[in-house]
């Protein structure tokens, strides 16, 4: 008897994770589970906990590099309609983990609510974007997050709110496994003005990022006061290729995956870039993308 007996509708075994990453890379998960409701999520989490099955959660896979060997245990994706909701209440919105960040930005524009324009062009889910405190030079998501609803590994639901909630450069102090929803505090503004900002950010991204390639955004975090991309560029690494993985000519902090690329190619290229930047500038580049092996 399987630990997920009775949940066959939402559980798949040996499921290829390459279908769920922006890189289009990654081996199989032992179990791939798409809970449709919080109750189903809790059921899956409790059964996994009781059976000591490792559990991970995937959003839109836009910040992930998953190894060619895949991952053991269960990978959960919160993509049922219940997890895609966004409920507006005055100048606040409660967005659920599986909602698409870029759609939420545009809905907020329509509602005349400003505060998350900085997320324009960032292709993540709300859950993944809260976890990563996604953002950049225009601001980050954390500054709008007022409270989050979380679930721990044992299936307990609880909330965490500011000031207990801390957001930093591409990280938060949320340790609970699952982000269920986030309440964002926004402010009323002229929709045309917000849209102008969104368009400006979008044009900037289009001009500076290789958006027509398979990638995972910036591979490395910027070391304090320096741009990782500038260091990689100055080390002469633009265009460096290993297997079918290549350092983008357009933005040196992006690694694009060509046809037939394996995660192993990207991992080897990451190691090569790190080595060269260390040799040239004595800087240790830290990963911004998350590697699942």
| Interface residue list for ligand FAD (CB under 6 A) | 22, 56-64, 78, 97, 122-125, 127-129, 131-132, 134-136, 170, 178-179, 209, 211, 215-217, 290
Q: Are strands 55-58 and 71-77 parallel, antiparallel or unpaired?
A: parallel
- Of 284, 43, 11, 287, nearest to 170 by C-alpha is 287
Residue 59 CA to residue 39 CA, distance in Å, equals: 19
Degrees (nearest 5) of the Cα angle 7, 12, 16? 160
CB 218 within 8 A of CB 255: no
Nearer to ligand FAD by Cβ, of 169 and 236: the residue is 169
Nearer to ligand FAD by Cβ, of 190 and 293: the residue is 293
Nearer to ligand FAD by Cβ, of 122 and 235: the residue is 122
Q: How far is CA 220 from the centre of its chain?
A: 14
Nearer to ligand FAD by Cβ, of 19 and 278: the residue is 19
Nearer to ligand FAD by Cβ, of 113 and 150: the residue is 150
Q: What minimum distance in Å lies between the beta carbon of 37 and ligand FAD?
A: 14
Q: What minimum distance in Å lies between the beta carbon of 135 and ligand FAD?
A: 5
- Of 277, 282, 279, 270, nearest to 234 by C-alpha is 277
179: left (phi over 0), alpha (psi -120 to 50) or beta: beta
Q: What minimum distance in Å lies between the beta carbon of 211 and ligand FAD?
A: 6
Q: What minimum distance in Å lies between the beta carbon of 244 and ligand FAD?
A: 17
Q: What minimum distance in Å lies between the beta carbon of 125 and ligand FAD?
A: 3
């Amino acid at each position: 008897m399987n630990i997920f007996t009775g949940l066959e509708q939402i559980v798949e075994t040996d499921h290829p994770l390459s279908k769920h990453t922006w890189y289009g890379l990654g081996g199989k998960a032992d179990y791939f589970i798409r809970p449709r409701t919080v109750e189903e999520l809790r059921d899956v989490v409790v059964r996994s906990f009781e059976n000591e099955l490792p559990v991970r959660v995937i959003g839109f896979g836009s910040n992930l590099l998953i190894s060619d060997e895949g991952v053991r245990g269960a990978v959960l994706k919160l993509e049922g309609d219940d997890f895609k909701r966004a409920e507006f209440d005055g100048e606040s919105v409660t967005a659920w983990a599986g909602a698409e960040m870029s759609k939420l930005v545009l809905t907020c524009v329509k509602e005349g609510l400003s505060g998350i324009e900085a997320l324009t062009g960032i292709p993540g889910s709300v859950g993944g974007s809260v976890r990563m405190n996604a953002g950049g030079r225009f601001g980050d998501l954390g500054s709008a997050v007022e409270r989050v609803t979380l679930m721990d590994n044992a299936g307990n639901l609880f909330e965490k709110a500011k000031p207990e909630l801390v957001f930093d450069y591409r990280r938060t102090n949320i340790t609970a496994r699952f982000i269920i929803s986030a309440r964002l505090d926004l402010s009323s503004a002229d929709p045309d003005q917000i849209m102008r900002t969104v368009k400006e950010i979008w044009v900037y991204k289009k001009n500076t990022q290789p958006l027509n390639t398979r990638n995972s955004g910036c591979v490395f975090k910027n070391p304090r006061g320096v741009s990782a991309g500038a260091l990689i560029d100055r080390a002469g690494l633009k265009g460096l290729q290993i297997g079918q993985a290549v350092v983008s000519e357009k933005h040196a902090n992006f690694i694009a995956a060509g046809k037939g690329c394996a995660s192993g190619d990207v991992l080897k290229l990451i190691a090569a870039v790190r080595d060269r930047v260390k040799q040239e500038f004595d800087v240790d580049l830290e990963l911004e993308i998350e590697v699942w092996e």
